[in-house]
Amino acid sequence: MKLEVRGVGKTYQTKAGALPALEPLDLDVQTGEFVCLLGPSGCGKSTLLNIVAGLDQPTRGEVRIDGQVVRRPGTDRVMIFQNAALFPWLNVIDNVEFGLRMAGKPKAERLETAQHFLRMVHLSDFESAFIHELSGGMRQRVALARALAIDPDVLLMDEPFGALDAQTRDLLHDELQTIWSDTRKTVLFVTHNVREAIVLGDRVVVLSARPGRIKKEFAINLPRPRQIESYAVVDLAREIMAVLRDTAMTGEQEMRQAALTHTLAAQIEEGMRGTFREVGDDVL
């Protein structure tokens, strides 16, 4: 499954005028490739991921999957959110089965698939636990199992480990690397953590501050599995850091950015309500 981003840009219309969030950019992700998008917060990397997921529309350009233009969410691309977004009214196994149930799969098949992926993320003993009983790391594992269960071609990961403590994050890096080598999914992984990007990615794409542009790309040819504290990773991190620091904003830019972000946040919230209505129109 080849992912092509062609001239995709996003501009928000705010009361303060047009606010470019993402400059038109091109990006190709090959089948089975693990690409990390790295950039400071507010650089539009999550926006890009949402556009690829079909949860957000670009104002220009298009995303193609095997030549097909993406217009709406599809089960060929599954997003994993920073705070897992599990459904608290379902227990662990029902969460993992959710996508399969939406696809109308029979009960026996759902259960078997869900159990398989729960084993993969080492949570077999927690099938009937509820979400509020799980730690942050366990929640991300369930989210990963829930995504893998519907067998998507592309995994879209939006800073999935951003809210976890360092130890849990290291553990999940190891597990994600193992799972990725076993399943060979195409992965687009958004992070602002340089070392995380190096440990996980075949390729690291550095974005500049808003409006996001591709600043530089790094091919990571280190042998796997990679350790976050290894010298090779640290050396490379230093190199990428230098590029990233270049993209940082001046104080004045930052002030302006903060003001704009404030307006933007209100509008995005508004937009989400819009999405919500849209879903409603779908229903009725």
Partner 1 sequence: MTYFRRLAVNNWARKLTFFFILLAGWQGLVWIGWWPEFIFPSPLSVAQTLVRGFQNGSLIIGIVTSMERILIGFGISAVVGILLGLALGRIKLLDETVGSVVLGLQALPSICWLPLALIWFGLSETAILFVVVMGALLSVTLATEAGVKNTPPLYLRAARNLGARGWRLYWSVIFPAALPAIITGMKLGWSFAWRSLMAGELLYQGARIGLGNLLSMGRDLNDMSRVIAVMLVIIAIGLAVDRLIFSPIELRVRERWGLQG
Residue 5, class by beta-carbon neighbours within 10 Å (0-12 exposed, 13-18 middle, 19+ buried)?
buried
Stretch that binds partner 1, among 22-30, 40-48, 177-185, 269-277 (CB under 8 A): 269-277
Give the Å distances, CA to CA, from 99 to 140, 141, 283: 16, 16, 18
Residue 239 Cβ vs partner 1, minimum distance, rounded to whole Å: 35
β pairing state of 77-80 and 154-158: parallel
Nearest partner of 22 among 55, 47, 49, 51, judged by Cα = 47
User: What is the distance between the alpha carbons of residues 269 and 8, in angstroms, rounded to a whole number?
Assistant: 22
Residue 1 in contact with partner 1, rule: CB under 8 A = no
- Looking at the Cβ atoms of 86 and 179, the one nearer to partner 1 is 86
- What would the x/- binding string for partner 1 be over residues 145 to 184, using CB under 8 A? -xx--x----------------------------------
Residue 147 Cβ vs partner 1, minimum distance, rounded to whole Å: 8
Residue 277 in contact with partner 1, rule: CB under 8 A = yes
User: What is the distance between the alpha carbons of residues 214 and 235, in angstroms, rounded to a whole number?
Assistant: 22
User: What is the distance between the alpha carbons of residues 154 and 159, in angstroms, rounded to a whole number?
Assistant: 16
User: What is the distance between the alpha carbons of residues 248 and 209, in angstroms, rounded to a whole number?
Assistant: 6
Residue 137 in contact with partner 1, rule: CB under 8 A = no
For partner 1, which residue of 18, 67, 88, 128 counts as binding (CB under 8 A)?
88
- Looking at the Cβ atoms of 8 and 150, the one nearer to partner 1 is 150
For partner 1, which residue of 34, 98, 126, 218 counts as binding (CB under 8 A)?
98
The answer to whether the Cα torsion of 158, 171, 187, 220 is positive or negative is positive
Residue 89 in contact with partner 1, rule: CB under 8 A = yes
Give the Å distances, CA to CA, from 7 to 57, 64, 71, 77, 260: 13, 11, 15, 20, 24
Q: Is the peptide bond before 211 cis (omega within 30 degrees of 0)?
A: yes
For partner 1, which residue of 11, 59, 75, 267 counts as binding (CB under 8 A)?
75
For partner 1, which residue of 103, 234, 255, 266 counts as binding (CB under 8 A)?
103
- What would the x/- binding string for partner 1 be over residues 26 to 55, using CB under 8 A? ---------------------------x-x
Stretch that binds partner 1, among 9-17, 70-78, 107-115, 251-259 (CB under 8 A): 70-78
Are 12 and 42 in contact, with CB atoms under 8 Å apart? Answer: no
- Give contact residues for partner 1 (rule: CB under 8 A): 53, 55, 73-75, 77-79, 81, 83, 85-90, 98-99, 101-103, 130-132, 146-147, 150, 272-273, 275-277, 279-280, 282-284
